Each structure stands twice: as structure tokens, then as C-alpha cells.
Chain A
Amino acid sequence: MSDLLCIATIILVGIVQASLQLSLGGLILLYHASMGHHRRRKTRFLARHYIIGAAVISFLMVCTIGFIISTIFNGALRTEYLVICVGIFVASALIMWLFYYRRGKSTELWLPRSFTRFIQRRAKATNDNIEAFSLGLLSSFAEMPLSIALYFVVANCILNLSAQYQIAAVLGYTLLSVVPLLILKLRVKSGKNVVEVQQWRLRNKAFARIISGSGFLVLAAFVTVYWIF
């Protein structure tokens, strides 16, 4: 596989990962809760640590799965495992279109209510940077049912890259996966409030659903064409 193809796949997977909404929702919740309690400076620190937490889980997952692939699968996923990943992507596309968002005028997700309440409680109780970091880890980790296959494909691509690009690729992927969080942070820093962002999410819920679902489907087609055949 050429390096260019690997990089294209990594970018595509990064975009699909970035379209998942739980981390973004968690950060909005954190802003909501923190800005009412703390000074802006403190809220900025909490948001920064939340984003670092979300990035760290992406980074660690890619590295861990890369290690698993290189030790158990001898450096590259076999075709049958890639077919399984493609199957998961197609299923994820259907989940995105049909179940990901709950019905009604809200941006509530597919998560069990008890778990959502737990994240809300944690966001309200977050007072220091370590708690914000943990909340970032948790909200990224909670999306694992949808993102685990993404990690396998991206780790496989990174292992196929030339050695000198591998670390840059892991870091690039990690950065790409937290781009929505960084955009939200920049918007809040530039004076916008989180309600505007939440209103935008609500207005464009159908659009986000189509983009995420289509992203998974395009990724499935891409992996099938370039990695399986």
C-alpha cells in the first residue's frame, strides 16, 4: 500500500470519528455547568483538560490496537478482519441514520438514560482539571461501540505507513478526532456562547445524522475497494 493511500484512509477515518457527537455534547455540558459556577479562566482550563482527556484516549487506543495488530496479527490485519470492520461500518451507518439521535426536539443520543445522567452529574460536579480530564476520557470511551472498528482500521493503516511517518500519523489522527472540540473551544473563547452552538446542533441534527451515516458508508466502500480488493 502506498503511503498516500494510508494517509487518505487515516484522514477519512479521522473525519468520521470527529463526526461522533458524544464528546462534543459532553464538552457543551461541561461549559454549561462550569460557566455558571466558576470564573471564565477556570472554565477554560477545565475545557482544555477535557479535550486533552478525549485526545489521550484516541491516542492510547490507536497505539494499543497498533500494538495488538503488530504482535497478534503480525503487522497487518488479514482480509477477513477488514471485512468484519467493513460490516461494522455499514451497521454503524444504519445506526447513525436510524437510532443515533433520539426522536424529538433535542440532540439526545442513543445512550442509556442512566449513563447520560451519570455524565451530566459528573459534568456538574467537575471542579478541577483532573476531573475534567477524566470526563473527557469517559465521554470518548463511551463511544467505543461505534469507534472501535475505526481504531482497528486506522491502526492498520498506520502500521502500513513508512516508519518515519508513523508517529506523525498517530498524532495527526488524534488531532483530527478532537477538531470539533477545538472549534467549540475557539468559538467560546471568541465570545460566542454555548447556547448558539447547541441551537446550531439542534437545527442541523438531520444534516449531522446524514453526514455521519454517509461517512461510515463511504469509509466502508473505501476500505473495501482499496484495502480488501
Chain B
Amino acid sequence: MKKKITYEYSSRGIQQNVLRYARSQNVPENWAKQIAERVSKATDAWIADKDTVTEEDLRRIIYNEIKILDPDLAFAYKNHDKII
């Protein structure tokens, strides 16, 4: 059976990750920072009452939040591993 890898949740890590995606899509820097901040707040709120979550769930929450703010960026976030 495949061994499951666990990570500690990091709000800052989420912010950095979203910021990286936003920069890769030429999103203006200030707007990119705002998006990253709002997304990390949303994930903080969602994760607050949970002990363990899957990466997939977390990605879904992040995607839903980005989609409200910037649909193009949400597309990039969702499809980054489906290019080739």
C-alpha cells in the first residue's frame, strides 16, 4: 500500500503558493498579494475546526476562493498539472 505523506498546514505556504501562480499569470503585484491574502484567510477559516484534511480538499477550497476573485487565475491553478 502506498505510504501517505502528511504535511503541517501553513497559511503562509498557501499565500506563497497562490502568489506564485498569480505572478505567473501577470496579475498585478498588489492585486496578487490581495488574492493570496484573501485565499489564505478563507483556508484558515475552513481548516480551523478540522484535525486532518486532504490536499485535494484544500486545493478545492483554494480554487473556489480564487475563482471568485480571478477566474483566469483559477483556471491556471486548477489545470497546471493537466497541460501535458
**Among A119, A191, A202, contact of B84 (Cβ-Cβ < 8 Å):** A119
A24-36: CB near B (< 8 Å → 1, else 0) gives 0110110111111
Asked if A78 lies at the interface with its beta carbon under 8 angstroms from chain B, I say no
Q: How far is the CB of B23 from chain A (nearest CB, A)?
A: 5
Query: How would residues 1 to 44 of chain A score, 1 for a CB under 8 Å from any chain B CB and 0 otherwise?
Result: 00000000000000000000110011011011111110000000
Q: Does B68 contact A (CB under 8 A)?
A: no
Q: Do the beta carbons of B79 and A198 come within 8 Å of each other?
A: yes
Main secondary structure of the interface of B (DSSP, over half): helix
Residues on B with C-beta less than 8 A from A26 are 84
Total number of B residues with any Cβ neighbor in A under 8 Å:
18
Taking a contact as CB atoms under 8 Å apart, the answer to whether B21 and A193 are in contact is no
Which residues of chain B are within 8 angstroms of A109 by Cβ–Cβ distance? Answer: 84
Decide: A32 and B26 in contact? CB cutoff 8 A: no
Which B residues are in CB contact (< 8 Å) with A92? Answer: none
Q: Mark B13-56, 1 if CB is under 8 A from A, else 0.
A: 00000011111111000000000000000000000000000000
A36/B83 in contact, CB under 8 A: no
B4 on interface, CB distance cutoff 8 Å: no
- Which B38-84 residues sit within 8 Å CB-CB of chain A? 72-73, 75-76, 79-84
Judging by beta carbons under 8 Å apart, are B82 and A107 in contact?
Answer: yes
B25 partner, pick from A33, A120, A194, A202, beta carbons under 8 A: A194
Known A33-B24, A37-B20, A198-B79; judge A107-B72 contact (CB<8 A): no
A123 to chain B, nearest CB (A): 9
Which partner residue on chain B sits nearest A25 by CB separation?
B84
Considering only CB atoms, which chain B residue lies closest to A33 in the complex? Answer: B24
Instruction: Kindly name the residue among B19, B73, B83 whose own CB sees the greatest number of chain A CB atoms within 10 A.
Output: B83
Extra inter-chain contacts (5) besides given A32-B80, A111-B84, A119-B84, CB under 8 Å: A28-B83, A33-B24, A35-B24, A116-B84, A194-B25
B residues contacting A by CB (< 8 A) are 19-26, 72-73, 75-76, 79-84
